[in-house]
């Protein structure tokens, strides 16, 4: 391979460095109207009255929008395929507000200043209700967060709003209770994961205008432009043919932009007034009024026989979706479907529980998407079981984990919101990942710990798997056009959000067409001009969209060979092509001459193909993560000395970008493991709503990252590739918890793992000895 599996620089990096227009707000029309939102000061209340008379009299205020301006059409903001596996429980504006930061009304004016002034002149009276701020008390609570009758599910997801349940699920293979009763070793532990904020650098931003054909054109910093078009068309009753959504460069998403946020109000204002307008979230609004990761309580029961073989996994999960049920079921199911198959030799598996409403900031998609929560619980529980059995945790995993050419019945049962699809692990290099990682971290020299005087050094590890898109649901498409002079346009609906997908997809096309990346000019994510793609989520882009690009490039090459054969007056089988020259016997024709002939002078035609891909499988990438830490004996502060990631993601289309994906995900995972936490006051107000009070990892927090890839080739992927976008984030919480126990003999079961929690456990341990 000459292009794929090479460290091609990002195709857009230089332009961005030079300050070229790239991001959504760069494309806002000058003098756009500004949309600002008045947000709820109460965790749960009903709007009794709104006095906006003073605000409307202000010079420069175009309009004030309240729930009375909108038809009551429920929808979900979740950017997912249709029918959505999330309840339709949101209105553009509603008479109820369900968390502090929820939308009360919107003002539209000529500047930020006049809008802010108008917001301060509006008097809203509320009937305040008792909120639910503890998700363990939400189910069947006397407060009902969604009493409205219009809300509904698109298909059965266990939706029961009268019990504050957004979704529920139950599956069982074998007989869990019987299997547990037959085990020699059992454990029963409960783990808690917290809400986490995305903290992408670019805030949520959108602008809109009407074009000369009187169509609504929306520029949005979104991961899912086609879903945005569909949801806006549904909720505002605007024909989709009248809507065009363009996604410029996105400054980070991590799942937080897999949803509608400001798009609905901006679309409404522009469509109603005909005037351009825009909305950009403040950082405070990003924290308080977009999404967090779903907090979860995960109860794990494991059982093993006398030979130390894992025989049963029982997992009961309670998830907090906050005020709305976006991604409620799917995130919850991924906590099982992308985690439990890791140990596929068990007799019985059960996964069940509920996703409940609370009066917290809504939870939604976030890199790892449930798998990080499930992995923390399972991989922590595995180490606890190993301690009880007095077996090396690596030896136990090697005996019980998934291997190549094996499968799990869970694949066929659990998908993301629906049934899954059965599949074999045609590639699974997890064994190599574990062996390599153990060597690189120096496990045998340190495990379980090494007392260094002031510090205790120790190691911990965890294994993980993810997916590569959602089989039989996620669809990607690509169009490729040959231009005169012999270069190509590649049009994809796949969404570049900073992960490098434009570069990776261009590399795939260039490899097939035997040309350079510079000869492939890519356009991504314009609902008018590029073919459909579900968007950037579920680790789907390289595998799903990449397969579409691969197919399209192959088809275009075949069309070019057919045309060359016609020009040479021979059969296509007689034509050779090396990417630059067509050859027939002694005759040669350059690609440049060929493309110019068919464009200008010889039975002219435009060569262009469109191809789509939706696959029957979602081959998981696998990873072994190893952490080496130093724990201060007095303060219990943790220093991450080294994190070794050994990854099987099939062929790395671009090894440099793949490494950056894994490194970035490891840092985010360590942030969740060590200190990131969305915190609320007693009345439900978010107090971690700025970058002073919400800490994310920096270079100072992690001393060394060591990411390597094992040789692997997935036949179903483009040039052997699987996904790499999410797998890195899954292992840090469990690996760190395991390392802390190896160092100190105490187990932290709730994230983040802070010195305060460790100190408390050490005191309890000390008291037990007395």
- Cα 511 from chain centre: 28
**pLDDT tier for residue 632 given thresholds of 50, 70 and 90:** very high
Q: What is the pLDDT of residue 288?
A: 96
Q: How many CB atoms lie within 10 A of CB 630?
A: 19
Q: What is the pLDDT of residue 766?
A: 86
Q: What is the pLDDT of residue 416?
A: 84
Rounded CA-CA distance 167/156 in Å is 9
Residue-by-residue DSSP string for 182-250: T-SEEEEEEEEE-------SSPPEEEEEE-TTS-EEEEE--S-HHHHHHHHHHHHT--GGGEEEE--B-
Quick one: which H or E segment has residue 63?
strand 61-65
Residue 468 pLDDT greater than 80, yes or no: yes
User: How is residue 161 written in tokens?
Assistant: 């709003």
Name the domain count of the chain.
3
**pLDDT tier for residue 682 given thresholds of 50, 70 and 90:** very high
Instruction: Give 691's contacts (C-beta < 8 A, 6+ positions apart).
Output: 199, 283
| SS3 state of residue 664 | helix
Residue 770 pLDDT greater than 80, yes or no: no
Rounded CA-CA distance 110/663 in Å is 43
The order of strands in the sheet holding 576-577 is 576-577, 581-584, 587-590
Instruction: Give 394's contacts (C-beta < 8 A, 6+ positions apart).
Output: 434, 438, 443, 461
Average pLDDT, the chain: 96
Instruction: Tell which of 554, 579, 614 closes a domain.
Output: 614
448 and 553, same domain (yes or no): no
Q: What is the pLDDT of residue 418?
A: 84
628 and 716, same domain (yes or no): yes
587 and 453, same domain (yes or no): no
**pLDDT tier for residue 769 given thresholds of 50, 70 and 90:** confident
User: How is residue 43 written in tokens?
Assistant: 């965790």
Tell me, yes or no, if the pTM score tops 0.95: yes
Rounded CA-CA distance 500/662 in Å is 13
Residue 580 lies in a domain: yes
pLDDT in tens, 77-89: 999 999 999 999 9
632: Cα within 13 Å, side-chain hemisphere: 10
Residue 302 lies in a domain: yes
**Which residues are paired to 488 by β-bridges?**
482, 520
Q: Which domain holds residue 597?
A: 475-614
Average pLDDT over residues 115-142: 98
The pLDDT > 90 percentage for the chain reads: 96
Give the CATH number of the domain where residue 114 resides. Answer: 3.90.1170.50
Residue identified by tokens 């291997």 is 403
**pLDDT tier for residue 450 given thresholds of 50, 70 and 90:** very high
Give the CATH number of the domain where residue 748 resides. Answer: 3.30.365.10
Per the CB < 8 A criterion, the answer to whether 295 and 363 are in contact is yes
Rounded CA-CA distance 19/68 in Å is 43
Burial of 390 (0-12, 13-18, 19+ CB in 10 A): exposed
Residue 505 pLDDT greater than 90, yes or no: yes
Residue 81 lies in a domain: yes
Residue 183 lies in a domain: no
Average pLDDT over residues 671-697: 95
Instruction: Tell which of 280, 300, 320 closes a domain.
Output: 280
**Which residues are paired to 708 by β-bridges?**
646
Residue 179 lies in a domain: no
Residue 166 lies in a domain: no
603 and 621, same domain (yes or no): no
| SS3 state of residue 151 | coil
**pLDDT tier for residue 624 given thresholds of 50, 70 and 90:** very high
112 and 46, same domain (yes or no): yes
Residue 639 preceded by cis peptide, ω within 30? no
Per the CB < 8 A criterion, the answer to whether 165 and 159 are in contact is yes
Per the CB < 8 A criterion, the answer to whether 405 and 344 are in contact is no
Residue 194 pLDDT greater than 90, yes or no: yes
Average pLDDT over residues 88-117: 98
Instruction: Give 78's contacts (C-beta < 8 A, 6+ positions apart).
Output: 84, 86, 258, 259, 326, 327, 364, 365
Average pLDDT over residues 369-385: 98
pLDDT in tens, 567-613: 999 999 999 999 999 999 999 999 999 999 999 987 899 999 999 99
674 and 744, same domain (yes or no): yes
391 and 525, same domain (yes or no): no
Rounded CA-CA distance 732/729 in Å is 7
pLDDT in tens, 395-434: 999 999 999 999 999 999 998 888 899 999 999 999 999 9
Q: Which of 222, 279, 228 is CA-nearest to residue 248? A: 222
Rounded CA-CA distance 352/368 in Å is 19
608 and 626, same domain (yes or no): no
pLDDT in tens, 651-677: 999 999 999 999 999 999 999 999 999
Residue 134 lies in a domain: no
How many residues would you count in the chain? 770
**Which residues are paired to 582 by β-bridges?**
577, 589
Running DSSP on this structure, what letter comes out for residue 157?
S
User: How is residue 436 written in tokens?
Assistant: 């390599």
The pLDDT > 70 percentage for the chain reads: 100
Average pLDDT over residues 690-705: 92
State phi, psi for 276 to the nearest 5 degrees.
Answer: -65, 145
Rounded CA-CA distance 622/468 in Å is 11
Q: What is the pLDDT of residue 478?
A: 98
Q: What is the pLDDT of residue 734?
A: 98
Rounded CA-CA distance 63/68 in Å is 13
Instruction: Tell which of 593, 614, 635 closes a domain.
Output: 614
Residue identified by tokens 């009299």 is 57
| SS3 state of residue 660 | helix
220 and 91, same domain (yes or no): yes
| SS3 state of residue 584 | strand
Burial of 113 (0-12, 13-18, 19+ CB in 10 A): exposed
User: How is residue 215 written in tokens?
Assistant: 């169509």
630 and 599, same domain (yes or no): no
Q: What is the pLDDT of residue 603?
A: 82
Query: Dihedral angle at the C-alpha atoms of 356, 537, 23, 238, nearest 10 degrees?
Result: -70
Q: Which of 536, 470, 469 is CA-nearest to residue 497? A: 536
Average pLDDT over residues 148-176: 97
CA distances, 93 to each of 62, 89, 331 (Å) = 18, 12, 26
Q: How many CB atoms lie within 10 A of CB 747?
A: 16
461 and 447, same domain (yes or no): yes
Q: What is the pLDDT of residue 365?
A: 97
Rounded CA-CA distance 742/383 in Å is 10
Q: What is the pLDDT of residue 514?
A: 98
Q: What is the pLDDT of residue 767?
A: 87
Residue 172 lies in a domain: no
430 and 465, same domain (yes or no): yes
pLDDT in tens, 230-287: 999 999 999 999 999 999 999 999 999 999 999 999 999 999 999 999 999 999 999 9
């Amino acid at each position: 391979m000459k292009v794929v599996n090479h460290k091609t620089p990002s195709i857009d990096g230089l332009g961005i460095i030079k300050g070229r227009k790239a991001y959504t707000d760069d494309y806002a029309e000058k003098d756009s109207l500004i949309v600002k939102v008045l947000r709820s000061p109460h965790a749960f209340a009903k709007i009794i009255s709104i006095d906006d008379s003073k605000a409307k009299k202000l010079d420069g205020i175009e309009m004030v929008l309240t729930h009375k301006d909108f038809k009551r059409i429920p929808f979900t903001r979740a950017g997912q395929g249709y029918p959505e596996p999330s309840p339709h429980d949101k209105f553009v504006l509603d008479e109820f507000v369900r968390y502090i930061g929820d939308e009360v009304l919107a003002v539209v004016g000529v500047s930020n200043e006049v809008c802010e002034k108008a917001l301060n002149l509006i008097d809203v009276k509320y009937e305040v209700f008792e909120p639910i701020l503890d998700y363990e008390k939400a189910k069947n609570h006397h407060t009902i967060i969604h009493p409205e009758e219009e809300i509904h599910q698109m298909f059965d997801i266990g939706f029961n709003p009268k019990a504050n349940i957004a979704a529920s699920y139950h599956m069982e293979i074998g007989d869990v209770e019987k299997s547990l009763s037959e085990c020699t070793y059992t454990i029963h532990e409960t783990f808690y994961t917290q809400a986490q904020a995305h903290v992408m650098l670019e805030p949520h931003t959108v602008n809109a205008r009407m074009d000369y054909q009187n169509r609504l054109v929306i520029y949005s910093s979104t991961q899912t432009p086609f879903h945005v078009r569909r949801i806006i068309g549904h909720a505002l009753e605007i024909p989709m043919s009248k809507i065009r959504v363009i996604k410029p460069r996105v400054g980070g998403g991590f799942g937080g932009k897999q949803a509608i946020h400001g798009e609905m109000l901006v679309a409404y204002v522009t469509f109603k007034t005909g005037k351009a307008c825009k909305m950009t979230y403040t950082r405070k609004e990003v924290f308080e009024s977009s999404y967090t990761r779903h907090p979860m309580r995960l109860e794990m029961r494991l059982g093993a026989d006398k030979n130390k073989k894992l025989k049963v996994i029982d997992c009961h999960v309670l998830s907090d979706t906050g005020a709305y049920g976006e991604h409620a079921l799917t995130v919850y199911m991924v906590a099982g479907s992308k985690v439990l198959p890791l140990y596929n030799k068990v007799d019985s598996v059960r996964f069940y529980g509920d996703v409940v409403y609370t009066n917290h900031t809504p939870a939604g998609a976030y890199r790892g998407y449930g798998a990080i929560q499930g992995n923390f619980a399972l991989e922590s529980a595995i180490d606890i079981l190993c301690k009880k059995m007095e077996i090396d945790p690596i030896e136990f995993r090697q005996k019980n984990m998934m291997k190549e050419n094996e499968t799990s019945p869970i694949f066929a049962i659990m998908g993301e919101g629906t049934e899954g699809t059965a599949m074999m692990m045609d590639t699974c290099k997890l064994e190599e990942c574990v062996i390599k990682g153990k060597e690189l971290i120096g496990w045998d020299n340190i495990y379980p710990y090494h007392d260094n005087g002031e510090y205790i050094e120790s190691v911990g590890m965890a294994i993980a798997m993810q997916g590569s898109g959602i089989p039989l649901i996620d669809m990607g498409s690509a169009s490729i056009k040959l231009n005169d002079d012999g270069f190509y346009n590649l049009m994809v609906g796949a969404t570049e959000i900073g992960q490098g997908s434009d570069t990776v997809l261009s590399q795939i096309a260039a490899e097939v067409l035997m040309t350079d990346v510079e000869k492939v000019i890519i356009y991504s994510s314009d609902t008018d001009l590029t073919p459909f793609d579900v968007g950037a989520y579920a680790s789907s882009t390289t595998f799903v969209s990449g397969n579409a690009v691969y197919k399209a490039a192959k088809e275009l090459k075949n069309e070019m060979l057919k045309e060359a054969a016609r020009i040479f007056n021979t059969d296509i089988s007689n034509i050779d092509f090396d990417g630059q020259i067509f050859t027939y016997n002694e005759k040669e024709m350059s690609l440049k001459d060929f493309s110019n002939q068919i464009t200008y002078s010889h039975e002219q035609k435009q060569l262009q193909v469109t191809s789509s891909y939706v696959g029957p499988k979602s081959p998981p990438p696998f990873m072994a993560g190893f952490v080496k830490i130093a724990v201060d004996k007095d303060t219990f502060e943790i220093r991450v000395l080294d994190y070794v990631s050994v990854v099987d993601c099939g062929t790395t289309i671009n090894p440099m970008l793949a490494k950056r994906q894994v490194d970035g995900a490891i840092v985010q995972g360590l942030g969740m493991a060590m200190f990131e936490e969305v915190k609320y006051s007693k009345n439900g107000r978010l107090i971690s709503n700025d970058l002073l009070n919400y800490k994310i990892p920096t270079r100072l927090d992690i001393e060394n990252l060591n990411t390597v890839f094992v040789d692997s080739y997935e036949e179903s992927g483009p040039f052997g590739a699987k996904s790499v976008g999410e797998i890195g984030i899954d292992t840090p919480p469990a690996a760190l918890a395991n390392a802390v126990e190896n160092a100190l003999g105490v187990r932290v079961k709730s994230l983040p793992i802070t010195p305060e929690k460790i100190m408390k456990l050490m005191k309890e341990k000390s008291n037990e000895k007395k």
